[in-house]
Structure 1
Amino acid sequence: MRLSPHDLRQIDEAFIAALSEAALRVLAVNLLVDLKEAHDRLGQNPANSSRPSSSQPPWEAASAAETEDPTEDPTAPASEPPSSAATTPASDKNKAPAGKPGKRPGAPGCGRLVTLPVQEEILHSPDRCRCCGTPFPADAPTKGYNGRYALDVVAPTSGSPGLEVRHTKHVYLQRQCSCGHWTHAEPGRCAENTDWQVELTEWHLAGPMLVALICALSLRQRVSRRGVQEFLADWLGVSLSIAAIHQCLHEAGRAVAPVIERDIVPLIREAELLHVDETGWKEGNQLLWLWVFTCTTATLFAIGRRSRRMLHKILGEAFVGWLMSDGFWAYRDYDRRLRCLAHLIRKAHGLDQSLDPLARPFGAATLALFEDLLQQVYQAREGPQPPADLYQKNRGKLDAFNDLCVDHWDCAHEKTRQLAREFTHDWEAIWAVLEFPRLPITNNWAEQALRHWVISRRISQGTRTEQGSLAFALLVSVIETCRKRGVSPWPYLAQVVQQRRKGEPAPVLPEPAPAP
């Protein structure tokens, strides 16, 4: 760079107007060199530089058309009809379609060899005739019909720490009734669901606790499918295919689906104070958004578009609690709103440190006002009595700042103009904390709930399919809700999988752990 920030702060329209033609040419050349260098830096990506692949945001490799729904934004321009230039290039038409993952048709299959010793054999027999309904007597003719092996992990019986692998053989019997009908014992099975491509059934090699362990490794420890396979083989002597591990995760997601609708969504919609945030999420080759809604006792995740429709799908239109959020326009549909002041303070810091002379005064004025008013909020919180209305107490300062925002409504500097309009649009939500000082001033709850999964997104680059996104959102909702309640999610998740595989209702979420 030829011009430093110190140099740029001294250059404005008046300075340029006073330069001679020769000096202007020199300045223009310096600015052109700096501009090209800046564009080269902005254009760097893992394909054309030494930047690691993990530094590429999901939206750079996904379709920008999926970032949010423009048809729901009242300020968005009308969409234009597709032009002929948007058709597929000739080179792409001749490109072979990408094949689906997995075994190709006609490829030789493989089976699992039973190598682990069997610790227990469990017999399953029917209790009554499926034809006539008569209970079987103890001496009814019985013979073997089918069987399966199951691997699971349990706590050691000796009480020492560690995991113990249990290999169980399940034998399904058939019994003959006096009417002559033979009735088979069947493994448990959940009813079919067309929304899922994975079955919920006891006819599965991985037991419920092993499924919970796979979820823990994949989601909480951020281990890849192949890494989970390696860990199970090296440390537990359990050999599972990548497809089986993948199936376990999706099966667990389907198992907890009723828990979300029955136990978590009502808590979110009835919360007195709800924190909500969203971040980019890549699904296949399209960009969606990972939403989080969190209150005192529950956390809900969802993956979808950044739109009013998605927000109303989660919260409904009758949400009456306080909603802490950022400045996304769809949140304005709800009356009792709070704005995260940390976002605004960071933007004001950016203006205060800007090279533009129009931005610095507005940024400095915003920071000074926040420093004064937030100090009053902190003092009001320390008092034993309900604090007085700080908004009326500071009415003169706020009116003067509102006039300053109006003056900068059409400011030539884009960031200054945007921040001034943001204050005007969300005035009541920003300053609600002055009327109710006990309310939060930041959206830390939502941002902390997202932090672990944002790191996971950088490692995994999101999900590949719609079902994968759904399973991910359902599982992390249960995991984070249990952690918020101070209980371990893994025994509960294993219990849910066990019950749902039998076709029975999922158990209710654990109650919050008592405070120490």
Structure 2
Amino acid sequence: ADDTPVPVLDPGRGKTATGRLWVYAADDRASGSTAPRATWYRFTPDRTAAHPMSHLAGFRGFLQADAYAGYDGLYRSGVTEVACWAHFRRKVFDLHERSPTPLTTDILERIAAIYAVEAEVRGKPPDIRCCVRQERSKPLVEALREVLDAALRHLSPRSDMAKAIAYGTKRWPALARFLGDGRLEIDNNIAERALRGVAVGRRNWLFAGSRAGGERAAAIYTVIQTCKANGVDPQAYIADVIARVAGDWPASRWDELMPWNWSPEPARLAA
């Protein structure tokens, strides 16, 4: 899961308010799964914990996201947190880019070694991924934790470096969770990639015209991105499905129109 700000016209104030576009993405191809991929967007007028709690009400499973406290209620309700190594790395990298030190260099190199193992097992079945992670990644993760703990003993708690390290150590069980389950990813990049198009498009459309406009945008993004994740041409899909729905397509066969089940062949034959 992830979210991004969306400017929304605020009539009467002469400016825009800030809404949020949330995304929930499921894509298990990295663990060799052929299950359908789905990308679901929701628009809200603000960013409060009530929204992810509502969106994922009743969900039980793994949730990988950033450290936003709004997800904490889900974790308390039985959802299992999987933290993101890319977010932790970014905290250290930002400091390294401004002022590199032996410590920042060491941490980044150690994280790079963990990612190198991930690159080797990408696309492998979960059992193989888990076995390789236990054998090769777990010692790397444990050694990194020792480096972080040693650094914290010598750094001022108020220093930027200590804060960057603490971002990771406070979430260590969730960061290490990928080691014990080959289905899990090391980072949240699936969701971040799903918001990349929104960030680029926002420069062109600038703002949503209303709350209803934001909700419609979320619906359209859901269709387009889910099509792309399943290797389907969104324009062809939307045109074909609209034509079928406008006809006499039975409600009992909605499943056949999902992007992961859709085929244009019946429409061509009918034509």
Distance 1:306 1:342, change over 3 A: same
Distance 1:277 1:405, change over 3 A: farther
| Matching residue within 157, 176, 180 for 1:411 | 157
Aligned partners of 1:419, 1:465: CA distance in 2, in Å?
38
Gaps of 5+ in 1: 1-275
Gaps of 5+ in 2: 10-15, 28-36, 264-271
Aligned to 2:12: none
Aligned to 1:342: 86
Deviation sequence 1:115-139 (CA, Å, 0-9, x none) = xxxxxxxxxxxxxxxxxxxxxxxxx
Deviation sequence 1:276-309 (CA, Å, 0-9, x none) = 1111101112111111111143211111122211
Aligned partners of 2:92, 2:212: CA distance in 1, in Å?
41
Q: TM-score, normalised by structure 1?
A: 0.39
Aligned partners of 1:489, 1:408: CA distance in 2, in Å?
58
Paired AA for residue 18 in structure 2 = L
Q: Is the 8 A contact 1:283 1:463 kept in 2?
A: yes
Aligned partners of 1:505, 1:408: CA distance in 2, in Å?
65
Instruction: Work out whether 1:492 is the aligned partner of 2:236.
Output: no
Percent of aligned pairs sharing the same letter: 23
The residue correspondences of 1:98-497 to structure 2 (distance < 5 A) are 276-284=1-9, 285-296=16-27, 297-304=37-44, 305-316=46-57, 318-332=58-72, 333-334=74-75, 335-355=79-99, 360-378=101-119, 385=128, 386-387=130-131, 389-390=134-135, 393-394=139-140, 397-404=143-150, 406-407=152-153, 410-414=156-160, 416-437=161-182, 439-487=184-232, 488-496=237-245
Aligned to 2:13: none
Q: Is the 8 A contact 2:107 2:144 kept in 1?
A: no
* Local SS of the residue matching 2:157: coil
| Matching residue within 247, 260, 271 for 1:512 | 260
Paired AA for residue 162 in structure 2 = R
Q: Is the 8 A contact 1:377 1:437 kept in 2?
A: no
Paired AA for residue 283 in structure 1 = V
Bigger helix share? 2
Aligned partners of 1:291, 1:395: CA distance in 2, in Å?
31
Q: TM-score, normalised by structure 2?
A: 0.70
Aligned partners of 2:83, 2:55: CA distance in 1, in Å?
20
Q: Is the 8 A contact 2:20 2:43 kept in 1?
A: yes
Aligned partners of 1:380, 1:507: CA distance in 2, in Å?
36
Aligned partners of 2:18, 2:259: CA distance in 1, in Å?
36
Alignment size in residue pairs: 231
Q: How much does 1:507 deviate?
A: 4.1
Distance 1:443 1:361, change over 3 A: same
Aligned to 2:33: none
Aligned partners of 2:59, 2:147: CA distance in 1, in Å?
31
Question: Max radius of gyration: which structure?
Answer: 1
